[in-house]
Chains A and B, each alone.
Chain A
Amino acid sequence: MNDEEILKLLELTICSEHSPEISDEVADAILSRSEECPPEKTARVRARFVEKVILMLHPLPVREINAKWPLGRWFEAIRESLRLTREDVAVAIGKEVIFVERLERGEVLPWECEPNEVAELIRLFRLHLNAASQLVNNSAAVNQVRGVRSAAARSRGGHASSERGDSTKRALEMFLAHNAGPAKPEDAVSEWLDALRLALRRRGLNELVD
C-alpha cells in the first residue's frame, strides 16, 4: 500500500462507522473552530429543530383528541411533554412569546386571535382541523363557566402561590366545562373556524383540512 492509498483509506475510515472512537481532544479541537452564525440563522435553526421534534411525535396529523382540554391547554401539554419552551414555539411560528403564553393560559381565546396566527400553531403541532374544532369548542365550553375570581391554593407544604392558584383555577374550569356538557357553538366561533380552514388551505396544508 503506497502513501496515497493509505491517506485515501484513512479518509474513508475516519468518515465511516468503522472509525475509532472520537476522543474529547479531537471533538474539542474540531468544535472550537468558530463558525459565523447570524441571528436570523440561529432563529431558523431553532424553528426547524422545533418542527422536527414535533414531527417526530406527530408524523401524521392529529385527527382525534380524547381530552376535554381547551385548545391552548392542549398546545401547552404537547409542548411540555416535548420539553420545549414557549419561546421555542414562538420562534417556530414567528410570533412573540406573549402570544403563545396568553393563548396557552386561556387569557386570550382562539377566536379572538387572527385565524392566520392560530393556523401557524396548528401547522406546527400538526393538528387536523377536525381535532382543532373540537378543542376550540372545548375552549368555548370552558369560557362559558369561567369565573371572574382568582383561585387560591396551597401545596401540601403549605405554601400558597399564584402559579398554583392559577393551575387550580384552570383545572376547576375544565371540570365544570366537562360537567356542563357541550357548549352551544356561537356564530362567531363557527365563522372563525371557517376562516381558520381558509387560512390552512392558503398555506397549502390540505392534509390538515381534508
Chain B
Amino acid sequence: MIDTIYKVLLTIINKENQGYISPEEFNLIAINVQNEIFSDYFKDANEFKNLQNRGFTNRGYANLPLQNREDIGAFAATATGTVTAGLVDLPSDMYVIEDQGVTTSAGILIDEVERNAIAVMARSEVAPTELYPVYEWFGSTLKVYPTTITSVNFRYIRKPLNPKWTYTIVANKEMYDPSNASFQDFELDSSEFYNIILKMLTYFGINLREPEVVKIAEIMKDKDNVKN
C-alpha cells in the first residue's frame, strides 16, 4: 500500500510541477499520519460505544463498534513481565493496556486501582491478596500488590510500526525496493487508503507552501466528514 500512496501523492502534487516529495520527507510524514489515524481509533471507540448505548448502531456492516474493534484488534499483542520488588516493566511497544488486560501467571485478574486509593485500600478488608491482586501506575512500570506476585501477563494494544518506503537508486532515480530489510508498509487497514492520502496531502501542502493543495485537501476532508 505504501508504494501506491507515494505514487498517488507524487501524481497529485507534481501534476503541474508544483513540487517534489523526497522519500525521506514522505517517510516522516507517513509516520505522523499513521499515528494520527491510529490514535483516532480510540476516540472513535468511545464515540461508537456511546452511540451503541443510545441504540444508534445496527448489526453487520452497520456495527460501528465492531468495525472499530477490528481496527484496534489488528494491533493486539500479549507479553509476559517479571515482577521485581513489586515492579514490572511495561512492554516497550505498548500503546495502551486492554481493560482487565493484566493477569497473573495463573490467569487471575490484576485490577487497576487509582493511586490515591491504594493507601486506604491496603488497610481495608479488601486489601490486595494473591486472589484479588491490584496494580497502580508507577512511572514506566506497574506496581503490583501483593509483592508475592512474581510474573504477570499483559494483553495490550501495541504501537504501529513506523512505515518506511525503501528504495534503491537506479539511473539517479529512486526505485521502490520492498526487499530492503528496513522496509515497512502502513499497518493500517487498506480501507484507510483514502484517509491517509487526504491527511498526507494536508501535511505536504503545508510543507510545500501550496495553499491550494491544502485547501483542496481540507475541502475533501470536510466533504468526507459531512458524509459521515
A and B bound?
no
